[in-house]
Structures are given as structure tokens and as C-alpha cells.
Amino acid sequence: DWVFALETDGQLIYAGGRFTEAGGAAAARLASWDGSGWTAIGQDESNGVNRDVNALAYGNGLLYVGGDFFGFAGGPIGYIISWDGTQFIPLSTAGGNGVGSVVLALQVIGSDLYVGGNFNVASGELANGLARWDGQQWEGLGTSLPPQRVYALGSDGEVLFVGGSGLLQTPLPQLQSRALDGSAANGAAGTAQVSRNGTLVVFSSTASNLTDDDFDTLPDVYVRDRLSGVIRRISLDAVPAKGGAGFDRPSLSSSGETIAFASSSGQIQASYLGLGRSVSSVAGQAGDAPSGNPMVLPDGSGVVFDSSASNLTDIDANGSISDILLKRLDDDSISLLSLGPDGEAADGPSVAPWASEDGELVAFLTRAGNLAESAVATAGLPKGSIQQAYLGRYAGLGRTGTYLSRNTSTGELGNADSDQVRITPDGRHAVFASLASNLVDGDSNGVSDIFHARLEQGQVVALERVSVSRYGFQANGPSRNPSISDDGLLVSFETDADNLIEFDRNGATDILLRQLATGEMVRLSRTVDGSQPDGPSSTPALAGDGRSIVFSSLAGNLSEGDDNGLADLFAVQLAATLEADAIGSTPNYSYTWWNPEQAGWGLNLQHQGALLYGTWYTYADDGQVMFLTVEALPAEDGSFTGPVFRVAGTPFQLIDGSPAFTAVTEVGSARLSFSGNDALSFDYSVNGVTQSRQLQRFVFDAAPPVCVNTLESRAGADNYSDLWWNPTEAGWGLTLAHQGDVIFLLWYTYGEGGRDQWISAS
């Protein structure tokens, strides 16, 4: 019939496909050509594969064969097998002997075999259409990305190239610290921040060729308009403090109209209403000790900063100990924030503040032990011996505060230093880095991690570790410098770990971006030459709207013309799949759908990311129950389209920890078109039958829940509507519709002979 794949070992040509004859002899879908004749590799299902061969690859002395087949020589096989010239050899481990569904592509690189297709497990390991076999064991790949299907693989001997549907790639970084003539800067770029809409970037640099008014190599602060490309040296607006001072640590308001920065003279400067202002001064008198780490309030009305000066307020009673101060730019007033509940001076230093929209909430790092009474000191360590992340409320009567770096169950403070705290303008989210191992359960990697705190009324209601893989694997290296979007959906950070995303092989610090609502994680790693970044990247800063990010990097292959060998500033316009506005603004169609006039069948949809996954409960030609699955992706007209599959598997009482399915057969296709949130047109063609059905949400409670794209972790959710499974027993599961006090359950599994069946319960 058909040939789908060809491969050679240098002597023979191998052909695989959908055929039962080769050279006039019986063949089980695989054969070889020696230049003069054909030889079948297996004559029938008793000594060959039982379904189509889709892909072939040769390497390590073996011919690898992948396809739709789930049986070999009368026994089960996981869609892939190898041939050594005389016999078939399964690619087996204790967890199984292949991948969970159809193989569509194969590629050998060195001693590794890469397998692509439409599967979500590899020998019991989670996978996402991509897996690696090293000759001994399987590793599932792509697990931190949205659902994907891999149709093609290629390689230049080192890099794996992947083609398919649902694949995610970030755009190329754009070089921001570029000279007037477009060439590379002649000095290194430092830290940066970006306006809420991502159009303005403020950064420090030692370069002297970014503008035509810079004649030294001291660090200056620049503002770049990303739309026009115009760069202005904003530190020209600084109020002179000491001649020849350098400037760094810039910060800007949400609109970009107010900018503040630190100077090497130990003073804080600002550009406010187009004029230079001194921040670390009162009544014209500069602070008598260094100030640093300025952060402009998002509304631009003030600047929070740390200072060891004792003359900026009348109530500074702790001498040269660093405190947190707030300067209001409209009236030049300065408030001391790092005080105890009764106004007592802090008994330890506080640094690096970050504030909410109008400064009502301010987070900072502190070694003071007397700022809050509600924390439990780490066993064996006095309060103040460890740097903690602290959040203070400075509005209304009195002041209140809490520690962000504490275990929400035990109340115990972190047992090691925390650093780099950030909060969102609305005060609902915070992120920070910490070496502490006692903030959440299971933290045993001994390195700095990134944590996300969910806040209500200035108190921590949930704390989670962000610097883990999508399935909770710990980082094998430290992570630092978190940044968070204004809505709390996206968190970026730098990391030395190489196990949080697949194919991280550059041995350098990378920038990762995590979508908290879905767990998706990507590395900002795209380069002009297709290889991995050839240098470390650091200090990411997300735009408030979550649509762009800036960071510094020593890599020389992120952008054309970056040949200075210095740290440069880059911006990335983030892919639509990770835009913050995509969560919470797009419809979510997860629900059980039915037609009440045709009671007895229905469609349970799970809408995660771009994928609409449906379990279709219906009946076969003989009137017996059967279930089908639908995997649909968005089409240009707004509908969702994709293939329909029927599955066979192990009878439910015999499922024992291995994948439950034994066969997956594509039986048709479907289109799902929604009218608003409550009407669905379900058009399908299955086994030659084409029909259209009109469905609505299945409601059986007076106050049914509404499914939305959540902004938070669902770990504490009290509605259990979802698709539930055990990934090591892929192929069966439960769909739960939870409304009021009732859960309607549909159990999809297999009966006698491995036939698909479903069972319902309430």
C-alpha cells in the first residue's frame, strides 16, 4: 500500500509503512532493499509489528522503528522497537517498553534516540510528545510546555530541531544598549527596569557612545524609548552632589514619568516632572550616610529607599543602622517605615524596599527582630540573626507587619537568608529569593529558590516555591532575582539550574519565565545562530502588563551586531501563550456538555492552555457503551479542531501500575464551535458518519459553578470538577462535575477483552 519512512545504514535501505507485501513476499510493514531485492523484516503479526510504521532512524548499530503499532509477535509493545539485523529488541525498562501512543518521528544524536509523536508518557515517565532513550532508560521531554504534538525531528549532529503543532518558542531578544550609530556599546550595561506597557526601559551603563553628551566611562542612567529607539541620558538631570559621581540602580514609575537612581556619592537622585530632584535629603540637607536601592512608587508620587543616614527624619533613633524611608516628591516629606509596632527603632538593618501602588504596603529585607510580634524564631537562632523578607502596612491608624519568609503552617521564620523581595502594585502577590529550607515542605536542594506569596489584606495566605519544574522537581542549582507581573500571573528569575527545562546544556545562568496559573515554564534562550546562549544572563525585569521583559546578558549570540564581549541589555516581546492578559480574559470551556433532549451521552471538556481535550461518552454500533477522545486546538475562525481517537486497554481489574491502554486508533475528526459561553456546535466525522450536534452546559444545581482561567494555584480549591488520572496508568481516568453538594462522575476504563467502556455515578 504505502511507504511512510525510509532510512539507510549505509548498505541497506529500509522502508516502513502500511504494506503487507515486499518483493512478492509477505511483509509486516517493514522491509529492506539490498540493491537487487527486497527482504521482509517480519512476515505477519506473529513475528512483526501489527500496525503502521511511521518513522525510521539508524544509529548505534540499530534500526529504530516507530509507528502506530502496539503489538509485536503477539505481545504488547509501546509504539517503538529496534532491529539489530537479526532480531527485534524492545526499548524496555521496568516502567514499560516504549511510549504511550503514536510515534511520528525519530532522530539519533550520538548515543541518544529522540522520539516525537502524540504521547504523554514514556515508559511510565511523563512526556509531552517528545522523549529520549539513552540505551538504558527513557526520559520524558517537553513536560513544562503546553500540550504539543511532534511530527518531525532533525539534527545537525548537535542541535535537535523539532517540528509539530502546539510548539512554543519565544521571539528573538532585541538589543537595547546599542550605540547611536547602531553598533555595540563600548561599555557594560547594568540593572534595568521597564515601564508597565514595556515601551520605556531605564538602565545603567558604563558606555560613552550611547548618546552624544557622555564623555566619560562612569556609569550613567539612560532611558530608551523602544518604539522610537531614542536613548536619553537621564542622569544629566541629577542634582550635583559630588563631582564625577556615577549612577546606577535605576527605577521608574508605571508610566515612566518618574525615575530614580542611586549615585556613587551615596545619595539618591530622581527625575520628577522633568526636573532633577534629590531624594535622600531634607530641607536641602543631604543624608549624612549612604542611601541606596531606590524604588519609585508605581503611581510616581514617591520613592522608597534604604539609608544609613540619621538626619533624614527626627525619629531615627538607631544611629547608622540602615532603615527604610519613603520620600514624597510632591511635598519633599520623608517618613521612616522600618519601625516596631509601637514606633520603636529597628534593632537591625533593613534594605532593598519594594512598594505597592501608593506606598501603603512596602516589602523589604531585614535583620531586625522587633518589627513584628507574630513570627516564630527559627529553632536555635535568635530573631534578627537571619535576613528575612518583611511586609509592612503603612496606612490608617498605626502600622502592622508580617514576615513573608515564614512557614505558613508552623509560623517559623526562614532558617537562612532571604533576598530580592518584590510585591505587585495591588499588594496581592509577592516574590522573593531564599536559601531557607523550612518555608515549604520538601525543600531539600540546599540552594536559593524563588518563592511566591499570595496576600490578602497584607497577610500571607499561601506560599509556594516557583523554581521547580512543572511537576515539582527541585532545581539542581540556585535561583535569584525574581520579577513578577502586576497581576501576579508571570514570574521570571535567573537560575544556574539546568533541570527546570529540557535541553538546558549551555552551562550558564539562564532567564526562566513561569506562568503560575498553568505551571508552564520557558527559557528566554532563542539565539540568532540557533544554538544555546553562549554566556550568562541575569537580572530580569518584567513589564507590569506581562507582555515584555528586559534582562542583562554576556551572551554574544542573542542579537546581530553584539560583538563587544560585554554585558548588554536585551528586551523580549513575550509569546502570546504566556501573555498575562490571556489568563482571566479568554473563555474557558471546561465543563460537561450535553443535549437534554438526547440524555444519555455527552462530552466532557477540559480546557488547559490552548488545548481543548474532550472525553466523549456515547454508544457503538452494537448499542454498547464506548468512549472516544478529542484533542482540539484553536483554528483561525475561532473554533477548535482536531482528531478523534478510540482506545482499547487492559480490563480495569487488571490495571497494575503500567499504562492501561493497548491501542489508540484515530477514527475521525471534530470541530467545536462555541456561541458565547453556553452553546456548543459539535460537528464530527467518525468512521464514515458525519453529523452535527447542538450542546449546552450540563447543569444540575441551582447555583452551578463557573469555570474560569484561575489566577491562583488550585491546591486549596474546594471544587473538584476536572479530569483526574494516574500518569503511570495512562489510558483510564475520571471526569468529575462538581456542583453544590453533588459530584457527577464518569469513569472511563476497559472491560472484558480490553474494550472501552464508561461507568457513571453520582
pLDDT digits (tens, 9 = 90+) for 508-523: 999 999 988 767 788 8
Question: Which element (helix H / strand E) includes 175?
Answer: strand 174-175
Higher pLDDT, 212 or 636: 212
Backbone angles phi, psi at 729, to 5 degrees: -120, 40
Instruction: Flag whether 500 is in a domain.
Output: no
Please give the pLDDT value at position 240. 59
Coil, strand, or helix at residue 250? strand
Q: What average pLDDT score do residues 594-620 get? A: 90
Q: Indicate the pLDDT class of residue 578, thresholds 50, 70 and 90.
A: very low
Cell of 294: 531606590
CB 171 within 8 A of CB 573: yes
Q: What average pLDDT score do residues 608-619 get? A: 86
Instruction: Flag whether 53 is in a domain.
Output: yes
Rounded to whole angstroms, how far apart are CA atoms 677 and 607?
Answer: 13
Range of lowest pLDDT (83-87, 389-393, 602-606, 611-615):
611-615
Per-residue burial over 64-100, b = 16 or more CB atoms within 10 Å of its CB, e = otherwise: bbbbbbbebbeebbbbbbbbeeeebebbebebbbbbb
Upper half-sphere CA count for residue 381 (Cβ side, 13 Å): 18
Q: Are strands 429-434 and 449-456 parallel, antiparallel or unpaired?
A: antiparallel
- Beta bridge mates, 200: 225
CB 488 within 8 A of CB 425: no
- For the cut 60, the answer to whether the pLDDT of residue 582 exceeds it is no
Question: Number of structural domains, the chain?
Answer: 2
Cell of 132: 529520549
Rounded to whole angstroms, how far apart are CA atoms 29 and 552?
Answer: 53
Q: What average pLDDT score do residues 359-367 get? A: 96
- For the cut 50, the answer to whether the pLDDT of residue 584 exceeds it is no
Backbone angles phi, psi at 375, to 5 degrees: -90, 150
Q: What average pLDDT score do residues 610-628 get? A: 92
Nearest-CA neighbor of 659 among 667, 668, 646, 647?
Answer: 647
Calculate the alpha carbon distances from 646 to 165, 599, 669, 757 in Å. 21, 22, 11, 11
Highest mean pLDDT of the ranges 233-242, 327-336, 575-584: 327-336
Calculate the alpha carbon distances from 343 to 318, 338, 394 in Å. 12, 9, 12
In this structure, the chain runs to a length of: 762
Coil, strand, or helix at residue 483? strand
- For the cut 70, the answer to whether the pLDDT of residue 237 exceeds it is yes
How do residues 197-209 score in pLDDT, each as one tens digit? 999 999 999 999 9
Rounded to whole angstroms, how far apart are CA atoms 518 and 520?
Answer: 5
**How many Cβ atoms from other residues are within 10 Å of residue 719's Cβ?**
13
Query: Which amino acid, 707?
Result: C
- For the cut 70, the answer to whether the pLDDT of residue 338 exceeds it is yes
Calculate the alpha carbon distances from 694 to 679, 728, 744 in Å. 7, 36, 21
User: Which of 122, 148, 165 is where one domain is finished?
Assistant: 165
Look at phi and psi of residue 198 and say left if phi exceeds 0, alpha if psi is from -120 to 50, else beta: left
- For the cut 80, the answer to whether the pLDDT of residue 223 exceeds it is yes
CB 303 within 8 A of CB 326: yes
Calculate the alpha carbon distances from 306 to 68, 279, 316 in Å. 64, 11, 13
Coil, strand, or helix at residue 383? coil
**How many Cβ atoms from other residues are within 10 Å of residue 674's Cβ?**
17
Q: What average pLDDT score do residues 61-69 get? A: 94
Nearest-CA neighbor of 605 among 657, 500, 557, 677?
Answer: 677
Nearest-CA neighbor of 121 among 133, 130, 110, 111?
Answer: 130
Please give the pLDDT value at position 711. 46
- For the cut 80, the answer to whether the pLDDT of residue 714 exceeds it is no
How do residues 299-321 score in pLDDT, each as one tens digit? 999 999 999 999 999 999 999 99
In degrees, rounded to 5, the angle at the alpha carbon of residue 353 between the alpha carbons of residues 349 and 356 is 145
Backbone angles phi, psi at 429, to 5 degrees: -140, 150
Rounded to whole angstroms, how far apart are CA atoms 128 and 431?
Answer: 29
Range of lowest pLDDT (257-261, 387-391, 527-531):
527-531
Highest mean pLDDT of the ranges 3-17, 113-127, 209-223: 3-17
Residue 620 DSSP class = -
Per-residue burial over 560-574, b = 16 or more CB atoms within 10 Å of its CB, e = otherwise: eebebebbbbbbbbb
Task: Return the percentage of the chain with pLDDT > 90, whole number.
Answer: 66
Upper half-sphere CA count for residue 141 (Cβ side, 13 Å): 21
Coil, strand, or helix at residue 459? strand
Q: Indicate the pLDDT class of residue 581, thresholds 50, 70 and 90.
A: very low
CATH of the domain at 127: 2.130.10.10
Rounded to whole angstroms, how far apart are CA atoms 602 and 72?
Answer: 35
Unique residue bearing C-alpha cell 471526569:
735
Calculate the alpha carbon distances from 749 to 615, 752, 762 in Å. 12, 11, 17
Unique residue bearing C-alpha cell 556599546:
185
Instruction: Flag whether 717 is in a domain.
Output: yes
**How many Cβ atoms from other residues are within 10 Å of residue 581's Cβ?**
14
Cell of 531: 544554538
Instruction: Flag whether 737 is in a domain.
Output: yes
Rounded to whole angstroms, how far apart are CA atoms 757 and 647?
Answer: 10
Please give the pLDDT value at position 140. 83
CB 494 within 8 A of CB 514: no
Unique residue bearing C-alpha cell 540593572:
191
Of the chain, the end-to-end C-alpha distance in Å amounts to: 49
Task: Return the percentage of the chain with pLDDT > 70, whole number.
Answer: 92
Q: Indicate the pLDDT class of residue 460, thresholds 50, 70 and 90.
A: very high
Rounded to whole angstroms, how far apart are CA atoms 180 and 729?
Answer: 60
Rounded to whole angstroms, how far apart are CA atoms 349 and 338?
Answer: 9
Question: For 491-535, where are the alpha helices, taking DSSP H only?
Answer: none
Rounded to whole angstroms, how far apart are CA atoms 189 and 562?
Answer: 13
How do residues 463-489 score in pLDDT, each as one tens digit? 999 999 866 789 999 999 999 999 999
Upper half-sphere CA count for residue 443 (Cβ side, 13 Å): 24
Instruction: Flag whether 467 is in a domain.
Output: no
Nearest-CA neighbor of 511 among 524, 500, 498, 521?
Answer: 524
User: Which of 105, 134, 165 is where one domain is finished?
Assistant: 165
Rounded to whole angstroms, how far apart are CA atoms 503 and 507?
Answer: 11
- For the cut 50, the answer to whether the pLDDT of residue 645 exceeds it is yes
Cell of 548: 515584555
Please give the pLDDT value at position 678. 84
How do residues 166-204 score in pLDDT, each as one tens digit? 776 677 899 999 988 888 999 999 999 999 999 999 999
Nearest-CA neighbor of 195 among 433, 542, 483, 437?
Answer: 542
Instruction: Flag whether 605 is in a domain.
Output: yes
- Tell me, rounded to whole angstroms, the distance of Cα 605 from its chain centroid: 23
Instruction: Flag whether 183 is in a domain.
Output: no
Backbone angles phi, psi at 147, to 5 degrees: -55, 135
Q: What average pLDDT score do residues 705-729 get? A: 74
Mean pLDDT, the chain, whole residue set: 89
Higher pLDDT, 103 or 526: 103
Cell of 590: 471546561
Coil, strand, or helix at residue 470? coil
- For the cut 90, the answer to whether the pLDDT of residue 72 exceeds it is no
- For the cut 60, the answer to whether the pLDDT of residue 146 exceeds it is yes
Calculate the alpha carbon distances from 73 to 30, 57, 82, 89 in Å. 14, 21, 13, 12
How do residues 415-438 score in pLDDT, each as one tens digit? 999 999 999 999 999 999 999 999
How do residues 109-141 score in pLDDT, each as one tens digit? 999 999 999 887 788 777 888 999 999 888 888
Please give the pLDDT value at position 166. 73
C-alpha dihedral, 204 to 209 to 215 to 220, nearest 10°: -10
Cell of 720: 473538584
Q: Indicate the pLDDT class of residue 377, thresholds 50, 70 and 90.
A: low
Rounded to whole angstroms, how far apart are CA atoms 303 and 320?
Answer: 20
Q: What pTM value is reported for the model? A: 0.69
Higher pLDDT, 341 or 31: 31
> Domain residues for 732?
584-761
Query: Which amino acid, 474?
Result: Q
Please give the pLDDT value at position 417. 97
CB 91 within 8 A of CB 80: yes
- For the cut 80, the answer to whether the pLDDT of residue 71 exceeds it is no
User: Which of 165, 193, 221 is where one domain is finished?
Assistant: 165
